[in-house]
Amino acid sequence: MDYTQMCPKYESAVDILGKKWTALLIRVLLAGPRRFKEIKRQIPDMSDRILTERMKELEEHGIVERRVFPEKPVRIEYTLTEKGESLAPVIEAIQNWGEKWL
């Protein structure tokens, strides 16, 4: 791998994953589909506005899927797509690094 030049794809990946809260959201969703309130419960310091914004961004990037269930009341769940699930080794590597060095 050539580390002497910046790779545009690496830069794009860091732009997505490096946003505050994004990696935490992915980590929460690796455990399975979650509703908004369940995500909020696991990351209580994140505002509703930011949670909504990040979920929309992750949807636009094809990392998260928003599922609407036509029940009463309507149930909405967020789940990782195949693309999102493929981030599991990245999240685990960050977890392992944190456990070793922090």
**What is the SS3 assignment for the chain?**
CCCCCCCHHHHHHHHHHCCCCHHHHHHHHCCCCECHHHHHHHCCCCCHHHHHHHHHHHHHCCCEEEEEECCCCCEEEEEECHHHHCCHHHHHHHHHHHHHHC
Looking only at the bridges linking them, the beta strands covering 64-69 and 75-80 are antiparallel
Strand partners, 69: 75
pLDDT of the residue at 68: 95
In the block, residue with structure tokens 């693309």: 83
Q: Percent of the chain at pLDDT above 90? A: 90
- 6 pLDDT band, cuts 50/70/90, is confident
Does 82 score more than 90 pLDDT? yes
What distance in Å separates the CA atoms of residue 76 and residue 36, rounded to the nearest whole number? Answer: 8
